[in-house]
């Protein structure tokens, strides 16, 4: 629903989210959005910025959007190659009460609290599962330095 998306866009302009540097539709398609997600404080993601592509179905808000990281990121619940995100909010836990901004906030929270039992990045998940947190954080920091903008 285009009206809902326009209201969401106005709301984010009026009250920006601390999790986002940017959240806006493309100039030519209200169902194609772009976001820049900020890394949460006190995590190895802090200081990083990741571009997320958002495809909104015409059945929105009944059905969830798809969100995909365009900037490479190392996280157990994000596919390193495709940027696909595995989070319940975008699947079984979606309700029309969620907005694009609140879903992105949930993804930012997921960065702080990985779920290694439903991984899309097996290597990162194995590090977390085995308690190799220092190794995991070093890997996250490496990819943050290589792929993100300051």
**Residues assigned a catalytic role:** 86
Residues 6 or more apart from 18 whose CB is under 8 A from it?
Answer: 38
Q: Are strands 20-25 and 32-38 parallel, antiparallel or unpaired?
A: antiparallel
Q: Which residues pair with 84 in a beta bridge?
A: 68
C-alpha distance across the termini of the chain, in Å: 35
Q: Which helix (H) or strand (E) holds 77?
A: none
């Amino acid at each position: 629903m285009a009206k809902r998306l326009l209201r969401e866009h106005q709301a984010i302009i009026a009250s920006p989210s601390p999790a986002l540097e940017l959240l806006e539709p493309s100039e030519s398609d209200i169902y194609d959005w772009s976001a820049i997600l900020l890394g949460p404080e006190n995590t190895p993601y802090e200081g990083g910025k990741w571009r997320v592509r958002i495809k909104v179905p015409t059945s929105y808000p009944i059905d969830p959007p798809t969100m995909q990281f365009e900037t490479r990121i190392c996280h157990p619940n994000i596919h390193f190659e495709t940027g696909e995100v595995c989070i319940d909010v975008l699947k079984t836990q979606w309700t029309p009460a969620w907005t694009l901004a609140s879903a992105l906030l949930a993804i930012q929270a997921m960065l702080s609290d990985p779920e290694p039992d439903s991984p899309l990045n097996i290597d990162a998940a194995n590090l977390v599962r085995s308690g190799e947190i220092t190794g995991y954080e070093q890997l996250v920091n490496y990819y943050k330095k290589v792929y993100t903008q300051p």
